[in-house]
Each structure stands twice: as structure tokens, then as C-alpha cells.
Amino acid sequence: MNCPFCSHDDTRVVDSRLGKEGNNVRRRRECPECGRRFTTYERVEEMLPWVIKKDGRREAFDRSKIISGMQRACEKRPVSVEQIESMVDRLERYFQEAGEKEINASVVGEEVMKSLQQVDEVAYVRFASVYRQFKDINEFMLELKDLLGKPGQ
């Protein structure tokens, strides 16, 4: 593993532990060259489906893109990084267990919105406004009315 500070190509593991969920390994490393320490996370590479974009392009399922979009939607909201990562973990498991080799980006977007709606409705509306590309205030208001009209609101 290369040191992120000095790029030395031989670092040593100082400590290893299982992550909170038990699905990754947290490693504390030290660089013998510069003496700095850093943390890495190791997880099993899972076979996730390819995502078919609106324009027909295919790209690999990218966890970091989903996390980034959720973080933007949850900005200044009471949603922790752990909650976001937990939602993305569940989404990854869902798509793996589905067993599909390819999925439409719209399916991914809808599942992200469902997850956000359960955690924070403001984050859900923020994500939906970007994802669904509302063309005017009327479309936005229809989405809000639909949200407010759900039982238990």
C-alpha cells in the first residue's frame, strides 16, 4: 500500500480490526519513510450490476456517486454519515441479491429516494428535485402534495 503522504510503496500494518458491521476490515498503517499513520478499509469486492444511463451508456455501479448525491441532499440536515453509509450498504445488498447483471439508472434513483424518504423528508425532496429535474414550480408542488398526502403525515 502506497503512503498517501510521501508515496512510499511499502507501509506496515500497525493494527487490524473488523468494522462495526463486520463486513470490512479497518487497518491502521504506518509509513517507515515519513513516519505518518493513516487508516485503510478493506472490503470484499462484490459483483454489482452495471448501470444503464438515460442515454444508453453503461457504467459500473459506483457507491461513491450514491454517497455523494445523498450527502448533498442531506447537507445541513440531521442525517449522519453513518446513516448514509448504512443506506448505501442496504442498497448495494438489494441490488446484489436481485441478481441482475444490468439495471436502469432510474431504478437506482428511485431506490435512493425511497431510502431518503424514510430517513429525512427534506433530504428526499432535495434529491427528488435534482433527480426528477422538475421543470417548474408546479411539478415541484405536485411532488410535495403527494408527500404530504401520505398516511401518517
Break the chain into its structural domains and give their ranges: 12-43, 50-148
Residue 153 has pLDDT above 50, yes or no: no
**Residue 89 burial class via C-beta count within 10 angstroms: exposed 0-12, middle 13-18, buried 19 and up:** middle
Mean pLDDT of 146-152: 64
Q: What mean pLDDT value characterizes the chain? A: 87
pLDDT in tens, 14-73: 999 987 777 789 999 999 999 999 999 887 766 789 999 989 999 999 999 999 999 999
3-state secondary structure of 36: coil
How many other CB atoms sit within 10 Å of the CB of residue 84?
22
